[in-house]
């Protein structure tokens, strides 16, 4: 296993609705301790997808697949 993968094994990302419509708060927890928080705008994700960006950096450490994140947000928060 690569050294970077082993560092992120115990990291949990919590995604909750943000203060504004179309925003989400992403919290990173490591072994139960909250480490960082990031405000994510859904419109920014759609813009990245439109521009063909496949991967975005979150917290300057984790790489997140843009299409997969949009899919998961749609499934969890926008499902009717």
Q: Break the chain into its structural domains and give their ranges.
A: 11-78
pLDDT of residue 61: 75
pLDDT of residue 80: 62
Q: Is the pTM of this model over 0.95?
A: no
Are the C-beta atoms of 54 and 66 separated by less than 8 Å? Answer: yes
- What is the Cα–Cα distance from 32 to 30, expressed in whole angstroms? 5
pLDDT in tens, the chain (80 residues): 444 455 656 778 889 999 999 999 998 888 878 888 889 999 999 999 999 999 988 877 778 899 999 999 999 888 76
Are the C-beta atoms of 27 and 12 separated by less than 8 Å? Answer: no
Output the six-digit token pair for 22: 């179309």
pLDDT of residue 29: 85
């Amino acid at each position: 296993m690569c050294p970077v993968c082993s560092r992120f094994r115990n990291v949990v990302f919590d995604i909750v609705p943000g203060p504004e419509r179309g925003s989400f708060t992403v919290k990173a927890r490591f072994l139960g301790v909250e480490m960082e928080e990031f405000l994510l705008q859904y419109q920014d994700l759609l813009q990245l997808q439109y521009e063909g960006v496949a991967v975005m950096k979150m917290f300057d450490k984790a790489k997140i697949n843009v299409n997969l994140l949009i899919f998961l947000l749609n499934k969890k928060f926008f499902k009717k």
